[in-house]
Structures are given as structure tokens and as C-alpha cells.
Structure 1
Amino acid sequence: MAQYDVPTLAEDLLLLLFQPASGTIAGENTLFYALGGAVLADLALHGQVTVNEGSGNKLATVGTEVPVDDSLRSAWDYIAEKPRRVQTVLAAIGPKLREPMLQRLIDRGDLVQVERKTLIVFTTKALSEGSTGRRGELLAAVRAALVDGVEPTARVAALAALISGSGTLPQFHREIPWNSAVIARAEEFKRGNWGAGAAAEAVTRTITAAIVNSAIAAATVLPHSN
């Protein structure tokens, strides 16, 4: 049984980015920005961080209730030390996320890791989709939001925005057509326009959108200061 009962947004994002046909994860080059953005978006959706416009749009913690999940707690603690720019936080927390998030997915059975021998001598580890069906459920929800116009939950909207912002959405073309309508809807999600049905207050949407867009920008612009 997995140690964490409720999957984080970063876990769901990593699971979606896994490509069953190739056994690879889409967007590896900028993956830590996407996963870091998912962690910060998770904190924003739970009302545990905010963007302080008075301090140059730096992140700050909200309240004193700390996250239970280790990955969220680590990011929260770092921000709690002092307000920091999103790019600074991403650079600090992002590189450490891939392996623990991947292990959680394996522990849950969402992904399966097997050893394969190559050239008789060498052993490599390969990933395949597990039998839980969770990736299919997540993909169906993102597709419904982007293609069918279904109003998403806040988590689904954030996932769609992160996938689009990471530049990996074209790799989902078999399930999610890569066309102008989908691109336009993804842009709306990145701006925090999720529709009235998304269970998140307007301020939370604004903060989440700011974090997602900062994560996107950080993929090409390195942080200079905190």
C-alpha cells in the first residue's frame, strides 16, 4: 500500500506525462519546472501559499497549518523562511521531485517498473502502465475539459494548464487533438479562466495561474535572485 493516500498534483502530472507507447516521460528536459509548478499550484489550491504583489510578486505562506505531505511540506517550509520568487522556489524544490513522485506512482500500482536485460549482460529498468486505470481517468478528465468544453475541477484545470505550459500537449495528439480550439482553451486555463463550475475562489485561481505561468517562464529563464 502506498504511504500517501491522496495523490498530489505533481504525482498526477507525472502520471499523465508518462507515455505508455514508449515507456518514457514527456518533457524530461524541463520536467522539474513542471513538477515544481504542480507542487506550488497544489499549495495554492489548498490556500497555503499566496503571491504577495507588495513584495514583487513573491510567494509567501498563508496561516500556520503546515501540509502533511512531505513534498508539499518541504516547499512550504522553504517559502516560510522568507518570501521568495516562484523561479527561486522551483529551482530549489524541482530537481528533487522526479524520483520520489515516480516511486509513489510505482507503489500505488499506477506504473510498473520491470528489469530488462540488454545484450545479455546489461540490465535496464523499464516503465509500463499499471492496472489501476488512474492515468486513463486523468486523461479523460483533461480531454473533456479541453476538447468537449466540460467545466473542469480546479485540479483538472491546473493539470491541463501545466501540460500545455510545459510544451508537451502535442504529444497527447492521439487522445487530445492538437488544434486551434484546444490551444485556445488551454490558454484560458493558464490565465485562470476555469469556468464557474471549478471549485476554487477567484483569488485562488489568480494565484494558481500566476504560479503556473511563472513555472512556464522558468523553463526558459533561469532565476537570478530570490
Structure 2
Amino acid sequence: MTESPTLAEDLLLLLFQPRSGTIAGENTLFYVLGGAVVAELALDGRVDANGAKVSAVADRAPSDDILRSAWDYVAEKPRNVQTVLAAVGPRLRGPLLERLVARGDLRRTRRRTLGLFNRTVLEDGGRRAGLLADVRDVLVNGAEPQPRVAVLGALLSASGTLPQFDPEIPWTTPVITRAKELERGNWGAGAAAEAVTRTVTATIVNNVVVATAVIPRG
């Protein structure tokens, strides 16, 4: 694949847990991935948000199929953010996972269980470490984030999965505080994003928080 990974691909890769071969936060995953798709449209100036509603920016359709599908849905009429998340999110996990495998970011391998049964498992392809280091630098070291890294950190926080990243990202009070700042769009004075972009993405992330709060995370 030649196109750069989408924000949702990067988020799914981060949520992959190499030690267990599973995806963290499966119960809330479709809302979180939906949030990543809509947030990327906002970062690219393809959608805008007014209060709880999101609308498409005319003549700004993306070329990526997954992003285009979400943009087309919003382009029909302005919609409530949670409505958009519920509409686009459930279809994302499979296609995004296939993209990660096609890129080599994740690998499918066969393992024998109990010496009898073969099963397919996922393994880390290597790129995840760089993404995790970028997010860790913002959450732990207080670095000024690039917009995409800020949104990744905010969505990880919104998903409720950050405790599972300990010890790589220590689950401490300063980290929790910084993550909540990212959720609110407080990325730092030098962060390379306009205030309106931060406001729109914060609106999207806040709706992810609200949507996932009522779903059991066990």
C-alpha cells in the first residue's frame, strides 16, 4: 500500500497488545475508531462541528475509501456526532485490520495450541513502537504534540484503555491529567493546529467519551 495510514489505522495499531495478541477495548472499539475517522476529516478541514452536530465541508471529499464513506454520510445532512459514530464505527474494524496486515504493521501467523489445534494469531510488525513512543512523549514527558498525535492520545484516553499501556505509559496522576487535557483540545500553545480544529476534534472526542461511558468495559 502506498497511501499513508489513516488516523484510525494508527489508533487500531496502538490498541493492539503485542503480549496477548488482542485488541484493547473491544467493547467500545467501534465508537473509538469512528471517532478517529471523523477526527481525521476534521483535521483535514473536510468536516466542521457546530455544537453536537457535524457537517461536511463542500467540495472537500477525501480520496480514501473509508474516509469518503464517512464524509458522504455527513454530506447528506448535518448529523449529531454520536449518530455519525454509531453509523460509521461498526464497519471499521475488519477493513482497518486488513489494511494493517497488508502494510505489514501486523502479521498473521499460525500457532499450535496444546499440541493439537492450529489457530491464527496477530503479531506486531514493528511500526507500533514508534507510534507509542510519540504518544508517550506527549503524555509522560509533556512534549508539544503534532495534531495527529494529540488526537491519538485523546482517543486512547476516551476509550478507557490507557491503564492497559502501563508500564510503557505509566498510569499516574500526571499522565491522567495530561490525557484529559488532550481530550479537551488543550494541546499546548505551540501545537501546530488552529484553535477551531482543536475545538472540533475536542467535540468529537467528548462524544466518544459520552458514548463509551455507558458500555461495560469488561
Common fold: TM-score over 0.5: yes
Unaligned runs of 5+ in 2: none
Map 1:145-164 → 2, pairs under 5 A: 145-164=138-157
Q: CA deviation at 1:120?
A: 6.2
Query: Which residue does the alignment assign to 1:80?
Result: 75
Distance 1:198 1:8 in 2: 20
Query: Which residue does the alignment assign to 2:197?
Result: 204
Distance 1:120 1:139 in 2: 34
Structure 1 counterpart of 2:23, one-letter code: I
Query: Which residue does the alignment assign to 2:208?
Result: 215
In angstroms, what is the RMSD of aligned CA positions?
A: 1.4
Aligned match of 1:129 in 124, 127, 145?
124
DSSP 3-state at the match of 1:66:
coil
Runs of 4+ displaced beyond 4 Å: 119-122
Q: CA deviation at 1:198?
A: 1.8
Map 1:172-183 → 2, pairs under 5 A: 172-183=165-176
Distance 1:160 1:170 in 2: 13
Q: CA deviation at 1:125?
A: 1.6
Query: Which residue does the alignment assign to 2:56?
Result: 61
Q: CA deviation at 1:8?
A: 0.5
Aligned match of 2:29 in 28, 31, 34?
31
Query: Which residue does the alignment assign to 2:158?
Result: 165
TM superposition score normalised by structure 1: 0.91
Unaligned runs of 5+ in 1: none
Structure 2 counterpart of 1:12, one-letter code: D
Q: CA deviation at 1:195?
A: 1.1
Structure 2 counterpart of 1:174, one-letter code: P
**Number of residue equivalences:** 215
Query: Which residue does the alignment assign to 2:39?
Result: 41
Q: CA deviation at 1:63?
A: 2.4
Q: State yes or no: 1:110 paired with 2:105.
A: yes
DSSP 3-state at the match of 1:115:
strand
Distance 1:140 1:166 in 2: 19
Cα deviation per residue 1:24-57 (whole Å; 9 max; x = unaligned)?
110011100110000000001001111123xxx2
Structure 1 counterpart of 2:58, one-letter code: G
Aligned match of 2:91 in 61, 83, 96?
96
